[in-house]
Amino acid sequence: MAGIKKNSMEAELLRETDLILWDEALMQHRHIFDAVNHSVQDIRDNNRLFGGITVVFGGDYQQILPVIIKGSRGEIVSASLMASTMWREFQLLKLETNMHVGEDEEERDFAKWLIDVGHGRHTDEAGNVVLLPQFGCPQNSVESLIQEIYPGIRHAPLPGDHFFAERAILAPHNAGVDELNRLILAQFPGQAQVFHSADSIVRDEGEREELLYPTEYLNSINASGLPLAELELKVGCPVMVLRNMDPINGICNGSRAIVTRMTNRVLEIRLICGSNAGKTHFIPRMKLVTSDNELPFPLQRIQFPVRLAFAMSINKAQGQSLKFVGLDFCSPVFTHGQFYVAVSHATSVHRIKAIWDPNGRDRVTKNIVYQEVLQ
């Protein structure tokens, strides 16, 4: 929006708009809101906040804050919307009723416990919280968690779309997600096919920097937002799209789908979530460039822009609708709101299963809460 020209069609729409709905706003950096505010003021020739347009922001400060790579607590908090100078102009509207939980006493108790842990209650000074007894699997192991969330995954016939649409395993770190996906795909029936990427370094003309980095090293890089260099898939497995390719028809970042056919140049997928569920689309190989600032160079990867979606990261799951949720806390959460987001996905306390550090205390994991953003 910040790049809209004053004489464009989008600018004309903004001049006539009275209301903007901005979902998942609190996970975005405050500079984004400042940029949009100044752009809309310029387009509408109006110095009022957002050019006089009423903007409704959706979000919850108990959830994950803007992601700052290797950022300190102070840096993360100061990147949030509440640190913006426009915050004092906002009117806060609170939703008091949890529409996801049932009416029986056990579900009401779970809803209250969920709100409490989001505010840092039931958490000791070391940031440890005791998981509810209903979360326990028959064994505190990855295999037990897989069987609880994906029962019968080993056997044909393949489950229907709704089976994968309503369940997933969540983990805090991408490394844990990749390992879970690898384990579940190995149990999934069917013939696996591996798609290899073409990796290179984006460089200025005349540079030969790729000679310093062998292809094997480039292939080993697992950067956030990029598909794996060795992408292993099976027909019938769930995947998540990593790029906004056709948002109107549901092919956007975070969309989940089922692989229906595979060739070396194109994947055929069927969407399983949202208003476009059931529609079939084709996904080609694409040039993808990482934005990971930890790398000493921009990496370009030509690969299908998808990842397996048996498991996903807690951050990526924010906004997804799930009925059965598995939680892998063998590696604990590391930032504000992750625990709350993870346990708030399911609609019933009996549809959440979790595992925790096998070397730690019984049913104990981390719950990190920044109290200053909840004031």
Q: What is the DSSP string of 149-166?
A: HSTTTTSSSPPPHHHHHT
| Token pair of 333 as six digits | 């959460």
Domain ranges of the chain: 9-89, 101-188+310-375, 189-309
**pLDDT category, 332, cuts 50, 70, 90?**
very high
| Nearest Cα residue to 229 out of 195, 184, 181, 265 | 195
Taking phi first (over 0 means left), then psi (-120 to 50 degrees means alpha), and beta for anything else, what does residue 24 get?
Answer: left
Which residues make beta-bridge pairs with 366? 128
| pLDDT tens figures, 285-325 | 999 998 766 788 888 999 999 999 999 999 988 877 789 99
**Residue linked to tokens 């070397």:** 359
* Mean pLDDT value across residues 340-353: 91
Which residues make beta-bridge pairs with 22? 57
Phi, psi at 183, each rounded to 5°: -65, -45
pLDDT score of 317: 87
Q: Please determine, for residue 350, whether its predicted confidence score (pLDDT) is greater than 60.
A: yes
More confident residue, 161 or 208: 161
Q: Is the bond leading into 332 cis (omega within 30 degrees of zero)?
A: no
pLDDT score of 359: 85
3-state helix, strand, coil in the chain (%, to 5): 30, 20, 45
| Token pair of 74 as six digits | 């102070």
* Mean pLDDT value across residues 197-217: 75
Q: 3.40.50.1110, 3.40.50.300, 3.30.460.80, 3.30.70.1450: which CATH number matches 101-188+310-375?
A: 3.40.50.300
pLDDT score of 32: 93
pLDDT score of 97: 67
Phi, psi at 356, each rounded to 5°: -140, 180
For the four alpha carbons of 55, 59, 60 and 61, in that order, the dihedral sign comes to negative
Spatial distance between the Cα atoms of 236 and 254, rounded to a whole number of angstroms: 18
More confident residue, 327 or 346: 327
- Strands in 324-329's sheet, in edge-to-edge order, are 311-313, 167-171, 324-329, 352-356
| pLDDT tens figures, 230-280 | 999 999 999 999 999 998 999 999 999 999 999 999 999 999 998 899 999
What 8-state DSSP symbol labels residue 206? Answer: T
**pLDDT category, 358, cuts 50, 70, 90?**
confident
Spatial distance between the Cα atoms of 326 and 141, rounded to a whole number of angstroms: 12
| pLDDT tens figures, 124-139 | 999 999 999 999 999 9
Taking phi first (over 0 means left), then psi (-120 to 50 degrees means alpha), and beta for anything else, what does residue 206 get?
Answer: left
